[in-house]
Structure 1
Amino acid sequence: MSYQQFDSDIQIGISACLIGQKVRFDASHKRSHFCVNEFGQHVKFVPYCPEVAIGLPVPRPTVRQIDIDGVIHVSRPDGTMNVTEQLRNYGKEVAPKLEDISGYVFCAKSPSCGMERVKVYTEDGKGSTSDGIGIFAREIMARYPHLPCEENGRLNDARLRENFVARVFAYKHWQTMVAEGVTKHKLMVFHSQYKYLIMSHDLIRYKEAGRLLANMSDDINDVAEQYLAILMAAMKKMASRKGHANTLQHIQGYFSDELNRAEREELCQQIDDYRTGLVPLMVPLTLIKHYLMEFPKDYLAQQVYLQPHPVSLKLRYGY
């Protein structure tokens, strides 16, 4: 299965302010150009603003996370307008309704929606740490521990952006397979499509996935859940140039009988140039895809690694 078969059905949860809704405390928004103008061409966003949903007005006084005797409260700096339980309860109410989403983009630093590094103030307001998690976001991530999640600011980084989108498409592929009913055969086919993508991200988990599937004597649903955990943990780890180069060299081996000496040396050089940072990933990938068209190989053609997301997003051009 390729991403083209289901990209129009992908739903992504998102903080409402990131798609341009003026729901922030000052009646402004934080519209994400990437989400709305680029990623939005391939997915449907499902927006939520928990602060408005629990009845806070627009505009409204700012709220913050405050540590009071080891317990996090969300309120105004002076402790009034405490909305901690309302936000938590709203998260618990929404979470079960998100079974079909394939990712979530949270608004960074928000006391309700921040995915990480949210400021937590001391009770006297004279100090703070940046180790909090938004009250609403925590409920969503706890309910779906393997769901691809990211923050708007981090999506400005080319590698983080590509990593998030690749995880979203992989997660959707997984959801589609599960909806049709998991079998040992389907799980093996799924893994065969993702082997090189996993390898490029995390060689240790690549081997772990192989060992898991080599002995599928346990309940298939338990095995599937274990596999999903390995897959998403592997993909969350940023693929390094070394990891990509190692994967590309494995793929190169499939053409050893077809390429002449000059062609092999050219491909080797392009992979090495990528490894050392002289060229972007698309340079050796483009040559490999050319050889795949010239010398078709069914196993390679099904590899998600070669095209994990739509070409139009141009996510592999920047690194």
Structure 2
Amino acid sequence: MSLRNQLNDVLPDILPANPKEAIKGTELIRLVRMRLDGNYSDASLRYHFSIMSCDPGSSIAKVEKGQGYYRRTAEVPALASAQELISMTQGRLDDFGSDQEAMDLVLLRVKKFRAIVKRWSEVNGRYPFVFRDPFQASSPMGNLWKFPELMLVDWEGAGEEGNSVLQLKQTLNLPPFRLYAARLRIHPTIHTFREDFFQALSSSVWANGGELFYACAIEDEALTDAFRKLNEVFGVGVTSFGLSLEQLDDLPRPAHILNAHPRETEALMERLEINRVAAAHTRPHLDWAALDAIRNDTEEINQLFDWLTTSLKQGEPSPHIEN
């Protein structure tokens, strides 16, 4: 049996599932050597560890921005967005069978993360607009590829004295904002990261750019490299917020997050460990043809542009007030 095949057999029993308990290369060599047939050099074993850790299909993963190896596993079921899970006919609720308590926990985690992203966006001068209608129970599954969970609006010159940039852009009949379509997920896995990425890409084709946000840290170095390669070609930004599932569970209810006082919000933001894996590429113009193709699918497209128009008329951006 080849060395790689032997490693595929023995590594799952040796490697820890938790990246924080990763085994350094020297110790892993010692543990593996006792279970291998054949006399392999340290250099050969290190080479195979390195090569296999770059393969998302192998059992060994290397810690991102650190040392050591751990077992690559899908730690949580493949999850859809909060709205998709709420509509009982969509998402992947079959993963939970009849376990209503498990479904409720997943729903709550995703709702908390959506609230965190909204507050984080507002703190950083981005104006969020939430899409809900396209993900109702009666909505077609194709909407998962047409609409983002959030639209983030970046206003040029917002907050500057007199909003001079906004006024200048209006004078020149140029849009003084950029629209970024954001998809939200809890945890990246080797089984779902491509679907996550390309749904983010598909739902952002009409915007200036696309973003994919993960609540949990991306520990797997191979996943990080895969995201960066996809970003180079397709331009969707990828960001993790560094929250563990335990931290998500410890967060207050979504409504409390959204209505927190400034000091509470500051404390919540301090819990985040933002890691920009890849920055979103910005397209200079909206794709109006792509937008026209979907604007009749939901009234919320018109609500989005009514909100933008109101901000333009009043000469400064304002937060979107949900109905």
* TM-score of the pair, normalised by structure 1: 0.27
Structure having the higher helix fraction is 1
* TM-score of the pair, normalised by structure 2: 0.27
